[in-house]
Structure 1
Amino acid sequence: MGDPLRRDVLLHRAIYVAVALFMLFLRLLPLDSTAGRLPGPDILLCLTLAWVLRRPDYVPVLLIATVVLLEDLLLMRPPGLWTALVVLGSEVLRSRLALTRELSFLMEWLFIAMLMLAMFFLYRLAFAVTALPQPGFGFAMAQVLASILVYPLVVGLSRITLGVHKPGMGELDDMGRRL
């Protein structure tokens, strides 16, 4: 018999990879070729940050790096730049788990918004320093704002459909271990 806790963690990791691949598949589909439309939110970033805050054991750093690097390669972004920023952002969250565990959702949302904005500005700064062409500021900022606005929806869907929630201070798993 396998460890039920281990099986749950592996199941959620597989779900994370499946959702990431599905979101990547949708981004690669040529659904609409009309120019000038506003960009959609980065749902994979929202999902990653939400899960790192709630259950960091579901999304280890190597899994995050692999998934986002694959996204970088398939979307033809500079390989590793966005990956490094997402890993850095998720590790900032992971290092502050004790502080964020008891935050209200509004404060958590504000913290995530500031983190997303910092990642956005660092990404643009790296492009500016290397003199790479980049999309217009307003266009890119619209995607960040859309991601910030969709974050509560991603958290809610993760909670309702998959049971990914923030453990309380003294909460134990089924095996009696602290979460």
Structure 2
Amino acid sequence: MAPRRVWWFRVLFALLAFLVLFFALLPFGPGEGGVPGPDLTLCLAAAWVLRRPDYVPVWLLIPLLVLGDALLGRPLGLWALIVLLITEYLRRRVDQSEALPFWSEVGLVTGCIAVAFVANYAALVLLLAGTPPLGGEALHALATIVFYPPAAIFSQMLGVRRLAPGELDTLGSRA
């Protein structure tokens, strides 16, 4: 059983994801032709998974992402699957990325975000689904990339820090 601190951070992540979703549903969005906002749930998930993967388990992330797909009118499960694959890729790289400087981490996540948006757009095109304008999707990806460093710094301020050398997570492993 995970310690109380880990459960507290899991609840905090879920609350932050619900808060991001709440503000995304409010009617003061960009409207037609406006600049789309960032995907803050992806930013937070990437930052938390790279620092403490045990705080964001798969069983917590999947329902939050699928709920976001359902409420925001995206194809159900597509974006959730893409974000899940990206976070699992980052989760597997925790040991290699812990020695990286902050801006190298930002570069790694930037590449992942770009791949996520390209994969989402390509899947929508291949499935002959309604695709948003390519320029709007590029701006959405750019906004998400720009908001990753503040999300990582915010996560650090909340206490989501990397494991110290030799420290084990709640699962008894390095990450």
Shorter-chain-normalised TM-score: which range?
over 0.9
Shift of 1:166: 1.4
Three-state SS of the structure 2 residue aligned to 1:107 is helix
Structure 1 partner of 2:14: 17
Residue deviations 1:112-151, cap 9 Å, x none? 0000111111111111111111111111111111111111
- Extract structure 1 runs of 4+ deviating beyond 2 A: 32-35, 168-173
1:169 aligns with 2:165: yes
1:107 aligns with 2:114: no
Q: Which runs of 5+ in 1 are unaligned?
A: none
1:124 and 1:178 map into 2 onto residues whose CA distance is: 36
- In structure 2, relative to structure 1, the CA distance for the partners of 1:131 and 1:99 (3 Å cut) is same
Structure 2 partner of 1:26: 23
Structure 2 partner of 1:53: 50
Amino acid at match of 2:57: P
| Contact 1:170/1:178, CA 8 A, preserved across alignment | no
- In structure 2, relative to structure 1, the CA distance for the partners of 1:32 and 1:88 (3 Å cut) is closer
Q: What is the TM-score normalised by the length of structure 2?
A: 0.92
1:88 aligns with 2:85: yes
1:136 aligns with 2:101: no
Three-state SS of the structure 1 residue aligned to 2:54 is coil
| Contact 1:20/1:44, CA 8 A, preserved across alignment | yes
| Contact 2:30/2:36, CA 8 A, preserved across alignment | no
Q: Which runs of 5+ in 2 are unaligned?
A: none
Residue deviations 1:52-94, cap 9 Å, x none? 0000000001111110000001111111101111110011011
Q: What is the TM-score normalised by the length of structure 1?
A: 0.90
Residue deviations 1:1-35, cap 9 Å, x none? xx8x6100110010111111111111111125742
The structure having more radius of gyration, on CA atoms, is 1
1:124 aligns with 2:124: no
1:117 and 1:172 map into 2 onto residues whose CA distance is: 31
Amino acid at match of 2:144: S
Shift of 1:171: 3.4
Aligned CA RMSD, in angstroms, stands at 1.8
- In structure 2, relative to structure 1, the CA distance for the partners of 1:105 and 1:35 (3 Å cut) is same
